[in-house]
């Protein structure tokens, strides 16, 4: 029979271990990445135009290498193609040591390009909005990529709600003004965000994607909302190893800009690990895409 002194020591030791373990909550990495047309489309192959050519193997391999350098636990993807394309990158990442058994493939009005999500953790709620009517120029258009919206269970005590977007590109179209359309998409997204936070302010809410506009422009200011309000969304100050913020390069204009964002609400803001958040500047980024991947680290424990 153990002595009372030994029992007391054992109890004290166990309590100390439990206390210390509680000081270090689980940390997870979230990344977002526009992978530039990971799909079949018209491309020039060996000097000839091919109608339904896949993304070149060299580019795909570079995409996988970029993602592997970040090693995210949850990965948001923009400009993915079909469900088969999503399964293709899923299997390639698994072969590279990154297993994402849980996924969401978002079908919006655009039948070609999709917003998707891969996760190590189970997706416990799927609230994606695929058909969002937008009145414009006396007609009704649609948010072309919809809004991906899923809740991931990191652990039984911590859920992360992720909204993925790909707003209208800055490429002109004959049907409407592209800037006006993007502004309207932003307005509908803001309304969706406000509804979520008003109904459940404790929600850990993260928005990711390609917003196709700079931080000072109307769509971004609309989505962010009023600073100081409980529905405010904070764009994380993502920077690369040189302190540069740009996420996209447009070779036609030799233009570098920040159009990809990760935004978080007040409930999630205190759980962000700033020193492990940024823009990936792998030397082969430009082989993979015209965008650079962005990422943040989250301490998966609710903090006041």
What is the model's pLDDT at position 3?
Answer: 54
Mean pLDDT, each 10-residue run in order, the chain (304 residues)? 48 42 76 98 91 96 98 98 98 98 94 97 97 90 94 98 95 87 95 98 98 96 95 98 97 95 97 97 97 98 91
For residue 12, the model assigns a pLDDT of: 46
Give the pLDDT score at 172: 87
How much is the pLDDT for 173? 86
If you write DSSP's letter for every residue of 249-269 in order, what string do you get? EETTTTEEE--EEEEE-HHHH
Interacting residues of 124 by C-beta distance below 8 A, sequence separation 6+ = 151, 152, 153, 159
Sign of CA dihedral 30, 107, 152, 149: positive
* Pairing assessment for the beta strands 294-299 and 27-38 based on DSSP bridges: antiparallel
Q: How far is CA 198 from CA 203, 204, 230, in A?
A: 10, 13, 8
- First vs last C-alpha separation in the chain: 45
pLDDT recorded at residue 24: 58
Looking at residue 21, its pLDDT comes to: 44
**pLDDT for the residue numbered 302:** 95
Fold for the domain defined by 29-299: Deoxyribonuclease I; Chain A (3.60.10)
Binning the chain into helix, strand and coil, the percentages to the nearest 5 are: 25, 35, 40
Angle at 69 between CA 38 and CA 159, to 5 degrees: 80
Q: What global pTM score does this model have?
A: 0.91
Which pLDDT belongs to residue 109? Answer: 85
For the chain, give every domain's residue range: 29-299
Closest to 270 (Cα-Cα) out of 304, 224, 226? 304
């Amino acid at each position: 029979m153990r002595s009372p002194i030994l029992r007391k020591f054992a109890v004290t030791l166990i309590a100390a271990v439990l206390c210390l373990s509680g000081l270090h909550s689980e940390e997870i990495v979230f990344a977002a990445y526009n992978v530039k047309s990971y799909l079949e489309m018209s491309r020039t192959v060996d000097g000839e135009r091919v109608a339904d050519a896949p993304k070149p193997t060299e580019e795909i391999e570079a995409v996988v290498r970029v993602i592997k350098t970040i090693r995210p636990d949850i990965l948001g993807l923009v400009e993915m193609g079909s469900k088969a394309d999503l399964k293709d990158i899923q299997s390639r990442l698994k072969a590279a040591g990154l297993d994402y058994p849980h996924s969401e493939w978002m079908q919006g009005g655009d039948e070609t390009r999709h917003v998707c999500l891969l996760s190590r953790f189970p997706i416990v709620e799927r609230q994606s909005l695929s058909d969002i009517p937008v009145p414009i120029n006396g007609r009704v258009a649609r948010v072309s990529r919809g809004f991906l919206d899923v809740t991931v269970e990191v652990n039984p005590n911590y859920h992360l709600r992720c909204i993925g977007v790909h707003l209208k590109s800055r490429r002109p179209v004959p049907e409407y003004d592209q800037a006006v359309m993007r502004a309207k998409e932003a307005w509908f997204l803001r309304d969706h965000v406000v509804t979520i936070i008003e109904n459940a302010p404790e929600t850990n809410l993260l928005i990711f994607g390609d917003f196709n506009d700079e931080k000072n422009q109307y769509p971004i200011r609309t989505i962010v909302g009023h600073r100081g309000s409980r529905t405010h969304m904070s764009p994380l100050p993502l920077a690369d190893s040189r302190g540069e913020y740009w996420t996209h390069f447009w070779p036609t204009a030799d233009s570098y800009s920040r159009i990809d964002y990760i935004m978080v609400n007040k409930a999630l803001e205190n759980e962000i690990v700033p020193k492990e958040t940024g823009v990936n500047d792998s030397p082969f980024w430009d082989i993979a895409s015209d965008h650079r991947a962005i990422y943040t680290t989250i301490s998966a424990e609710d903090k006041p």
